[in-house]
Copies of this chain bind each other. A is one copy, B any other.
Amino acid sequence: MTFTEKLKASVQTNNSTLCVGLDPNLELLPKDIIKKDRTPTQQVSLFLKKVIDVTKPYCTAYKPNLGFFEALGPDGWDLFTGILDYIPNDKIVIADAKRGDISSTAEHYAKAFFEEYDVDAITLNPLMGFETLDPFLNDSSKGIFVLTLTSNPGSKDILLQKIAGGDTVSTHIAEQLNKKQQEAESSIGMVVGATKTEALEPVITPFPEAPLLIPGVGKQGGDITKLAEALENHQGIPLINSSRSIIYAGGNSDSWQKEVAESAQNLKKRLSTITERYV
């Protein structure tokens, strides 16, 4: 099954375009998770498994964020493996790694994430040039999501700068990815932030078939109605990600799992105007 087919099937089966971001921050774990006889890694493992248990009825994808796993040292990578094993098979797994490096290094990152950890997709950073994506483009069962327009204020620093011809760097990236897709086996998608819906159209227009990974609707404040409008003519499937506003929705409450579930369920519902276009 190609990545695109798996993505489509997953959105249909789950009737959802929600992606839950797994950003396990030790300082934000619920108090019933934190026990002295558990190592930090065991605490995170337990927390993430409970989060997956209660959110899996509502989402179509999970996005483990590697920074949070790396911060746990070598144990964090065993944890990452354990969490990948725990995610149900009908979900898309996106390693949010934001890697980007020259040829032989990129080959090794591709080997790490597509062979060793066997995730469905990875986020990549294109700053060093579009050739750096090539080692990730030889496998039709895999996808990449390339940072194109991010949801943070700093996207103005480089991505929204205008280059010769009047395009922004973001739009230039989208145009080049669209070309690259013609020769690629793997599926090429884009990371485009939901906090800047007015900036979204020029970025997705040049690459109408790109699957999209869209952060920024939760804590970062992106507006779903505006997002749905901006995506109206886009053909590629969008996955809308929320991390902190779902997984920490319960705070330190005794019923935190219920609140996490409700938060995922609510966001799934609010995304239904988008989802129904793809099911």
Chain A contacts with B in 51-81, Cβ cutoff 8 A:
65, 67-68, 70-74, 76-78, 80-81
Determine whether the beta carbon of B156 is less than 8 Å from that of A68: no
- Asked if A182 is at the interface (CB within 8 A of a chain B CB), the reply is no
Q: Is the CB of B98 within 8 A of A67?
A: no
CB of A126 within 8 A of chain B? yes
Cβ of A161 within 8 Å of any chain B Cβ, yes or no, is yes
**B interface footprint on A110-134 (CB within 8 Å = 1, 0 otherwise):** 0110001100000001111111100
Mask for A66-104, Cβ within 8 A of B = 1, else 0? 011011111011101100000000000000001111111
- Whether the pair A100, B125 counts as a contact (CB closer than 8 A) is yes
Given A74-B78, A161-B169; A104-B23 close (CB under 8 Å):
yes
Contact A132 B154 (CB under 8 A): yes
How many copies of this chain? 2
Interface size on A, as a range, is: 35 or more
Interface stretch among A145-153, A228-236, A257-265? A145-153
User: Are A112 and B70 neighbours in the complex by a CB distance under 8 Å?
Assistant: yes
A169 vs B72: C-alpha distance when bound (angstroms): 34
Between A70, A73, A112, the greatest number of chain B beta carbons within 10 A of the residue's beta carbon is seen for A70
List residues of chain B with CB within 8 A of the CB of A156: 129
Instruction: Contact check, B158 vs A129: say whether CB atoms are below 8 A apart.
Output: yes
Q: Which residues of B contact A78 (CB under 8 A)?
A: 74
**Other-chain residue from B76, B116, B152, B159 in contact with A131 (beta carbon distance below 8 A):** B152
A residues at B contact (CB < 8 Å): 23, 25, 65, 67-68, 70-74, 76-78, 80-81, 98-106, 108-109, 111-112, 116-117, 125-132, 147, 150-159, 161-164, 169, 172-173, 176, 244
Since A71-B111, A131-B153 are in contact, a sample of 20 more A-B pairs with Cβ atoms closer than 8 Å, ordered by chain A residue number, is: A25-B108, A67-B105, A67-B106, A67-B112, A77-B77, A98-B99, A98-B125, A100-B127, A102-B152, A104-B244, A126-B158, A128-B154, A129-B158, A131-B152, A158-B158, A161-B163, A161-B164, A162-B164, A163-B163, A169-B169
14 contacts across the A-B interface (CB closer than 8 A): A65-B101, A67-B106, A67-B112, A74-B81, A77-B77, A125-B128, A126-B127, A128-B158, A128-B159, A131-B152, A132-B152, A132-B154, A158-B169, A161-B163
